[in-house]
């Protein structure tokens, strides 16, 4: 029979088992910390009605949408007709639809997390994905939502990335009201022009200072060289401590209502982040953070790895006025963050920052004598009841080959129950990671392995 070539579509990240273990352990850490902070899981269908999904007028994401048609719908489709269903391109629109649909059944402030895949028809390119995981948390208020929640999200970000143990990081914080107010002080009163300028500021990292200066003093913007110099000087500020950040904010002088509001919010948020348990070393006021999307109206966040700035922001978000104006007349202000887990995993792997090669299988019971199989199976049942993930070699084979299998499969412990051990009531444990071995009474085996495993997974301080 002719065979079809087995291949996946471009732009997806399909992982081999040991890489999948590393990726899953990243998602697990994200979920664990989201739940620690009292966020509730939500999952939405991968498809939404196109009429629900595509409410915004022709943005970039809309051009990237994937449409879905059942076999019947495909056959009945007319030219130029928009298919009824489409795949979600983010988790924000489904959240808005979910909250609007279930508004009367939810308890507000509604604290939800969502870890699911989203779909975008990106141009095929290294590091660009058409299917990727997003890990989002949002707190949604009914009518109003205290700015105090803006201080809680950095605490969640801190807990997640500390747990992931991927090196020093900084949560960068700014406030769009402050930025707008400061631009007013510079003579830029028009909201649309302000937004356009902030979008340019947002490109500083990618385009560099000179290119942005040229754009802002060029025809399209027509800002004076002096104003642009002031602006670039202003947005260059990064606080070195909480006191430094507060001093900078105090030094801005009296300003417009927007500036005063933004400053008051920042002062409260920056102070409270510390009370939420985030060390000063891990967050900063960064006046260049603008977040391109006009969607954000107050606090904005980005998170960067201190040693790997080229990776860019690994967790971003902010405060918005109204989540679901397309679907409900209720006012639902919120604050949220998002981690693009697939891209983050890929970048960390590229940068060599991931510990790989470890299986979820913790122990392999070796096969020494086929007649003793029931004994090996009973040992495995004991281990599993004790919470140890265990595989049994069920067929006879050379011991060296069994060790090679365990090594290649990333299994740490091989358990040997030979006639000696059976006579003595012991088990010999070969620790392939430590390249060590020990013999232990069978009644103490589970506890001994647990101790070894726990030592290897102590959370970073």
Can you say which residues are annotated as belonging to the binding site for L-histidine? 90-92, 120, 134, 138, 291, 295-296
Q: What sign does the CA torsion over 298, 299, 301, 306 have?
A: positive
Contact by Cβ (8 Å): 95, 323:
yes
Q: What residues between 150 and 169 interact with a second copy by CB under 8 A?
A: 152, 155, 159
Which of residues 29, 91, 131, 258 is near a second copy by CB under 8 A? Answer: 131
CB of 169 to a second copy, least distance (A): 18
User: Binding string, 4-43, against a second copy, x = CB under 8 A?
Assistant: xxxxxx--x-xxxx--xx--x----------xxxx-xxxx
Residue 185: which region, alpha, beta or left (left: phi > 0; alpha: psi -120 to 50)? Answer: alpha
Region of 453 (left: φ > 0; alpha: ψ -120 to 50; beta: rest) is alpha
C-alpha 390/C-alpha 376 separation (Å) is 11
The residue (of 285 and 383) whose beta carbon lies closer to a second copy is 383
Site for a second copy in 107-126 (CB under 8 A): 107, 111-112, 117, 119, 121
Q: Which is nearer to a second copy, 223 or 416 (CB)?
A: 416
- Contact partners, residue 243, CB within 8 Å, separation at least 6: none
Binding residues for a second copy restricted to 402-461, rule: CB under 8 A: 405, 408-409
- Residue numbers in the known binding site are 90-92, 120, 134, 138, 291, 295-296
> Is position 394 an interface residue for a second copy (rule: CB under 8 A)?
yes
Residues numbered 268 to 297 that lie near a second copy (CB under 8 A) are 272, 275-277
Nearest to 374 by CA among 392, 391, 389, 387: 392
What stretches of 176-271 adopt beta strand conformation (E)?
none
Q: Please state, in angstroms and rounded to a whole number, the distance separating the CA atoms of residues 121 and 238.
A: 36
Angle at 285 between CA 166 and CA 112, to 5 degrees: 60
Q: Which is nearer to a second copy, 220 or 378 (CB)?
A: 378
Phi, psi of 172 (to 5 degrees): -95, 130
Q: Using CB under 8 A, which residues numbered 344 to 363 contact a second copy?
A: 359-361
Residues 50-89 touching a second copy, rule: CB under 8 A, are 51-52, 55, 62-72, 74, 83, 85, 87
Contacts with a second copy by CB under 8 A: the residue count is 100
106 binds a second copy per the rule CB under 8 A: yes
Task: Return the bridge partners of 337, or none.
Answer: 137, 317
Q: Based on CB atoms, which residue is closest to a second copy, 96 or 204?
A: 96
Q: In the numeric block, which tokens belong to residue 192?
A: 């649309």
């Amino acid at each position: 029979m002719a065979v079809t070539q087995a291949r996946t579509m471009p732009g997806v990240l399909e992982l081999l088992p040991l890489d999948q273990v590393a990726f899953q352990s990243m998602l697990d850490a994200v979920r664990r910390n989201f739940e620690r902070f009292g966020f509730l899981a939500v999952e939405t269908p991968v498809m939404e009605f196109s009429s629900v999904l595509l409410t915004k007028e022709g943005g970039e994401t809309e051009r990237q949408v994937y449409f879905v048609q059942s076999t019947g719908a495909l056959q009945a489709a007319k030219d130029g007709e928009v298919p009824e269903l489409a795949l979600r391109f983010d988790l924000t629109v489904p959240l808005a639809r979910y909250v609007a649909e279930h508004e009367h059944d939810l308890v507000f402030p509604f604290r939800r997390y969502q870890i699911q895949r989203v779909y975008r028809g990106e141009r095929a390119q290294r590091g660009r994905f058409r299917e990727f995981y997003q890990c989002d948390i949002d707190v949604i208020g009914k009518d109003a939502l205290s700015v105090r929640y803006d201080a809680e999200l950095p605490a969640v970000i801190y807990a997640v990335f500390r747990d992931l143990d991927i090196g020093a990081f900084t949560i960068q914080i700014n406030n769009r009201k402050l930025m707008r107010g400061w631009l007013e002080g510079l003579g830029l009163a028009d909201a649309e022009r302000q937004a356009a300028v902030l979008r340019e500021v947002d490109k500083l990292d990618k385009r560099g200072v000179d290119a942005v200066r040229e754009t802002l003093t060029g025809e399209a913007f027509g800002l004076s060289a002096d104003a642009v110099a002031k602006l670039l000087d202003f947005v260059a500020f990064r606080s070195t401590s909480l006191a430094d950040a507060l001093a900078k904010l105090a030094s801005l002088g009296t300003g417009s209502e927007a500036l005063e509001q933004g400053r008051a919010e920042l002062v409260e948020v920056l102070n409270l982040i510390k009370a939420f348990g985030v060390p000063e070393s891990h967050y900063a006021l960064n006046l260049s953070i603008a977040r391109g999307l006009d969607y954000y109206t107050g606090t904005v966040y980005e998170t960067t790895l201190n040693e790997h700035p080229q990776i860019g922001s690994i967790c971003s978000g902010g405060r918005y006025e109204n989540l679901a104006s397309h679907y409900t007349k209720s006012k639902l202000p919120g604050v949220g963050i998002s981690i693009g887990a697939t891209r983050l995993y890929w970048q960390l792997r590229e940068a060599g920052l991931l510990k790989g090669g470890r299986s979820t299988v913790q122990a392999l019971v070796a096969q020494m004598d086929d007649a003793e199989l029931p004994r090996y199976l009973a040992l495995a049942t004991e281990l599993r009841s004790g919470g140890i993930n265990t595989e049994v070699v069920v067929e006879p084979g050379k011991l060296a080959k069994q060790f090679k299998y365990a090594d290649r499969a990333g299994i740490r412990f091989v358990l040997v129950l030979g006639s000696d051990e059976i006579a003595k009531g012991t088990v010999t444990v070969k620790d392939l990671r430590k390249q060590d071995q020990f013999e232990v009474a069978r009644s103490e085996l589970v506890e001994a392995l647990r101790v070894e495993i726990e030592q290897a997974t102590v959370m970073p301080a």
